Structure 1
Amino acid sequence: MPHSAKPPALNPRRNLAGEVLLALRAEIISGHLQPGDALAEPVLAKQFGSSRAPVREALIELEREGLVQFELTGRTKVRTLTEQDFDEIRDARVALESMAARRASATWAPEDSTCLEQNIARQAKASTLAELSRLDVEFHEYVMRLAANTRLLTLWQSIRWQFEMCLASTHRLQQTLACRPHQITVSSHRHLLTALASGKPEVAAQKMALHIESSMEWSPSEISTADHLTGLATETHRR
């Protein structure tokens, strides 16, 4: 692992593999563990104070989620998302979420607007970029669930963590470039909410597609550079 911060102590009453999974996933999405970083089972087991079995189980689940990759050499590392990955995730989201927006808008109720307005208010007050990204994803998950289509939701959940990884990276890039990620995120979701609550399913679907395409217009090469600069700044601060 690239930094010496001690991971949170594991709660012996909970599933150890689940604890390791949550901790590693958070480290990856937040950018503390960067693309290409090695994830050695013995090292992680020592840091988490566990045996290698729960670490291995957590890594297998992270590989299923698309956040890490196993190499033929037996090594495990944080996955590096390519231009093609970004394009495929964007296209999948547009297809799934525009359909969900169309279905959700057709049955939209005042309480749905209230719930998402509260989410947007929390976005504006998010104390970290990781929290901002999580709230962003929760907004979209609410719409997916409101569509009331189990298979549609299952397909979306299969890319959910890769989506959040992309989103968190984009937020870090926006901050590095002084683009005010909180302001951009809040404003874009307010416009999206207006479309969802309009009672016009086609308008909601079109707005969702535009929202996703604009939020994923940042290139992986730009994001990689921003993460590298952020990492250097963090290391300098620690020294």
Structure 2
Amino acid sequence: MSGDSPHFEKIKQRVIRYDVLSSLRAAILDGTLKAGDHLIEAEIAEQMGVSRGPIREALAELEEEGLVVKYAYRGTFVASFSARDVREIYSLRCLLEGYAARLAAVRIQPENIEMLEDILNSMEKAADAGNLDVLVEKDIRFHRAICQLSDHSLLFQTWSKLASRVRLFLTLADQVYFTPDYIVGTHYPTIEALRKRDPDLAEKTIAEPIIEVGETVARGMEEETGGEIQKDRITELWENVLKGRKLVGG
């Protein structure tokens, strides 16, 4: 074989790494692997029929995503999340996506609006069919698209690191606290704000539902209010976000 021939083995190895990572991530997100489960490399490798190398690499990536935690001398475990974790992740989402929407609003093009509307149409179909997995997938895709449209590469990279945890919490929120129609409905105002090229409105319409979902999930976890959230609390949280943005020169 000549030196110009492709390295098929390396390509295959990359496919194995991706498949292992995808399988482990999916098992965590769908609840097959539960918080606190011990992830033993040798056992997983045997079950998947691969060497321990791809398992180790996948677990390192999942640790980076925040889905697993590694303890010295103990091993790797599926991460547990507290109400505080939920609030921290959603408050960061609020800042990132709110700013992304502001940036997107001033550079949005008609074809971008059409793309967002296509995603929303897919969400509507998933909601009508009661397909939670597809609904969450399209929901994540919608918010990813907003971040991409900001044309802010570091913002998008930071948001991407949260994506797996966001998907986990969205699944919980959609299953327990909100109806599919409600989830879909929160996205219409953002599209309209972007269509109007209104940065302030775009930020507000994308950030407020994020705050509401995050606070509702957090309160539900704390069993303080049975998962209910008062509108004055949403307003208070939103005002705090705006104050925080001004403090950092936003």
TM-score normalised to the size of structure 1?
A: 0.80
Matched-pair contact (CA < 8 Å) for 2:35–2:77: yes
Change over 3 Å in CA distance of 1:120–1:69 after alignment to 2? same
Equivalent AA in structure 2 for residue 198 of structure 1: K
1:221 Cα deviation from its structure 2 partner: 7.4
RMSD: 2.2
2:196 matches 1:194:
no
| Cα separation, 1, equivalents of 2:196 and 2:149 | 15
The answer to whether the 8 Å contact 2:136/2:170 transfers is yes
The answer to whether residue 132 in structure 2 is matched with residue 129 in structure 1 is yes
Residue aligning to 2:48: 48
Q: Which residue of 2 aligns with 1:115?
A: 115
Cα distance between partner residues in 2 of 1:224 and 1:54: 37
Count of equivalent residues: 210
Offset from partner CA, 1:39-98 (integer Å, 9 cap, x none): 121221122111212111111110011111112343221111111111111111111111
Could you say if the C-alpha distance between residues 65 and 13 of structure 1 is closer, same or farther in structure 2, counting changes exceeding 3 Å?
closer
Residue 168 of structure 2 corresponds to: 165
Mark the CA change 1:186 to 1:30 in structure 2 (over 3 Å): closer, same or farther: same
Worse-superposed segment, 72-81 or 112-121: 72-81
CA distance in 2, matches of 1:223, 1:50: 37
Deviation at 1:218, TM superposition (A): 2.7
1:14-38 alpha-carbon deviations (Å, 9 max, x no partner)? 5322211011111212222222222
Deviation at 1:157, TM superposition (A): 1.7
CA contact (8 A) 2:87 2:218 kept: no
Alpha-carbon separation, structure 1, partners of 2:94 and 2:200: 14
Shift of the alpha carbon at 1:12? 5.4
SS in 2 for 1:158: helix
Number of the residue aligned with 1:29: 29
Q: How does 1:1-239 map to 2 (within 5 A)?
A: 14-126=14-126, 128-174=131-177, 179-180=178-179, 182-220=180-218, 222=220
- What secondary structure sits across from 1:218 in the alignment? helix
Identity %: 31
Separation of aligned partners in 1, 2:85 and 2:112: 32
* Structure 2 unmatched ranges of 5 or more: 1-10, 224-250
**Which piece of structure 1 moves more, 95-104 or 13-22?**
13-22
Post-superposition Cα deviations, 1:132-162, rounded to whole Å, max 9, x if no partner, equal: 2121111011111111111221221222222
When residues 33 and 224 of structure 1 are mapped into structure 2, their CA distance, relative to the original with a 3 A threshold, is: farther
Partner-residue secondary structure (3-state), 2:36: coil
Structure 1 counterpart of 2:155, one-letter code: L
Give the direction of change, closer, same or farther, for the CA distance of 1:221–1:72 in structure 2 (3 Å limit).
Answer: farther
Secondary structure of the corresponding residue to residue 107 of structure 1: coil
In structure 1, the residue corresponding to 2:216 is in which secondary structure? Answer: coil
CA distance in 1, matches of 2:167, 2:75: 24
TM-superposed CA distance for 1:207, in Å, is 1.4
Instruction: Tell me: CA distance 1:139–1:28, structure 2 relative to 1, closer, same or farther (3 Å).
Output: same
Q: Which has the larger radius of gyration?
A: 2
My pick for the range that moved more, 60-69 or 161-170, is: 161-170
Specify every segment of 5 or more residues in structure 1 that has no aligned partner in the other structure, as ranges. Answer: 1-10, 226-239
- Which whole-Å CA distance do the structure 1 matches of 2:92 and 2:186 have between them? 20
Relative to the length of structure 2, the TM-score reads: 0.77
